[in-house]
Amino acid sequence: MAPSSSIAVRELPLFPLPDVVLFPGRPLPLHIFEFRYRIMMNTILESDRRFGVLMFDPIQGQIAKVGCCAEIVHCQRLPDDRMKMLTLGQQRFRVLEYVREKPYRVGLVQWIEDRPPNEDLQPLATEVEQLLRNVVHLSAKLSDRQIDLREDLPTLPVELSYWVASNLYRVASEQQSLLEMQDTAERLQREAEILSSTLNHLAARTALKDALD
């Protein structure tokens, strides 16, 4: 269940994760072992089961200002007080200020949403989906293995944009930029550019592979 839009600002426990960007509607499995975060999760489990995930850049040593609220949907307690849990991305937020730092960070956050579109986004979403399928097809051909793209991809443009962004690999900074965008068309257009570039790279590698075979 998504947070009520009437609650514009609230305090939220915050969980920075190195090079991890969570998007709305996407699952995030976690292994909680650090003492302060065990305290945090136990507190959250007794309240509304929600906390904020923020991308931590280990190279820059910086924590992002925009993140995604996660809701704990399943928790398994291990004998040594560690926890394995499954969380699900909910609504995005922006950190306005830190309320406290210890034993774990708590921030005053404001929910953010995409602005209502001024145009029909379905053609752009269809283009992104087709590019994605082409990338998967060429990736499978290059690796000589079966790669199946799920048939039930999100149909709504905003949900598709989150799904594609969450499945980009090893580009946390790019994912963070996509998370921060509040224009669905802009996010989809950037994803089309990324997928087109990837497709061109794969096509060149495929042509070389075919020439050498």
Task: Name the nearest CA neighbour of 75 among 85, 63, 65.
Answer: 85
Q: Are 53 and 208 in contact (CB under 8 A)?
A: no
Looking at residue 67, its amino acid is G
Residue-level pLDDT at 3: 43
Q: Cα(125)–Cα(185) distance, rounded to whole angstroms?
A: 9
Report which of 71, 69, 89, 88 is spatially closest to residue 24, judged by C-alpha positions.
89
Going along the chain from its start, the domains and CATH numbers come out as 9-112 (2.30.130.40), 122-212 (no CATH)
CA 49, CA 47: separation in Å to the nearest integer? 6
Place of tokens 């991305």: 89
Asked whether the whole model's pTM tops 0.85, one would answer yes
Q: Which residues share a beta bridge with 112?
A: 92
Shortest CA distance to 187 belongs to which of 94, 109, 113?
Answer: 113
Mean pLDDT per block of 10 residues along the chain (213 residues) reads: 58 96 96 94 94 94 96 94 95 96 95 94 96 89 76 91 91 95 97 94 78 64
Cis before 103? omega within 30: yes
Q: What is the DSSP string of 149-213?
A: PPS----SHHHHHHHHHHT--S-HHHHHHHHH---HHHHHHHHHHHHHHHHHHHHHHHHHHHHH-
